[in-house]
Structure 1
């Protein structure tokens, strides 16, 4: 076998390998964007920064605690947050199909427990946003369940 045939074999092997990689990539179905409207959210990120600054000015900070015995996430809000409305988002970086959100109930109490027994183990980002008297607050924290 001369050197021309060896070069042709190497070239065809490379092309075949690249074709296999392209085919394999096209077979994946678990590729998700972080959000379908990520561009609009990126443009409005300054609002999140302002809300984080409002949160930092509170007398005490929002505390996240995972209670493994009862499999709940406990949120302890500052006293001045009682009577506010808001939303909590559980974001799963590994699989966007498992993300979900709940409405906050901090009308009468400064703590709320959320059952998480049915959630997959691993990394979750908990994003909490709430409003009181027209002023917005935001905090997020990474949790490993």
Structure 2
């Protein structure tokens, strides 16, 4: 049986479409390829973008800024010494970009102008640290990316 060039093109297209369809179905059905959003309510979050930028600018305008560091014990957050520790209120949100199951939040509770998050709560890799805090009635937002070994 001899196949002409028109039949060969149709067979090639059918094989190519089958190949693409196989990968689409594999990615959609396999939990290993999780394609979730970073923020659940994206549009609601986007509406408050200007407020977020104002809080980031407030933090940027500070002469002495909080410092986020990582060491063998975990994450250390040190506020400037001239801040009154009991007046600082807020949360530290840690986001794991690769898997939202590891995301968690910790309320800011300072002792001697610093706080720490133990390494036992963290797994190795990249973490986004978003610290939303308030001091003397002014709102601040500090964002950093850290790497835990």
TM norm. shorter chain > 0.5: yes
Match of residue 8, structure 2, among 6, 28, 41: 6
Residues 43-93 of structure 1 show CA distances to partners (whole Å, capped at 9, x for unaligned) of 11211211122212323111111012x2x1000112325221110000111
Q: CA deviation at 1:105?
A: 0.5
Alignment deviations for residues 77-119 of structure 1 (CA, whole Å, 9 cap, x no partner): 123252211100001111112111010003x521111102242
The TM-score, its normalising length taken from structure 2, stands at 0.86
2:54 paired residue number: 50
Whether the 8 Å contact between 1:73 and 1:115 is mirrored in structure 2 is: yes
Which residue of 1 is the match for residue 30 of structure 2?
A: 28
Gapped runs of 5+ residues in structure 2?
none
Structure 1 match to 2:112:
109
Alignment RMSD, CA only?
Answer: 1.6
Higher mean alpha-carbon deviation, 95-104 vs 28-37, is at 28-37
Q: Which moved more, 1:31-40 or 1:2-11?
A: 2-11
TM value normalised by structure 1: 0.89
In the alignment, is the contact (CA less than 8 A) between 1:33 and 1:96 conserved in 2? no
- Pick from 114, 121, 126 the counterpart of residue 124 of structure 2: 121
Which structure 1 residue ranges, 5 or more long, are not aligned? none
Which of 66, 69, 87 aligns to 2:70? It is 66
Which consecutive segments of 4 or more residues in structure 1 shift more than 6 A? Answer: none
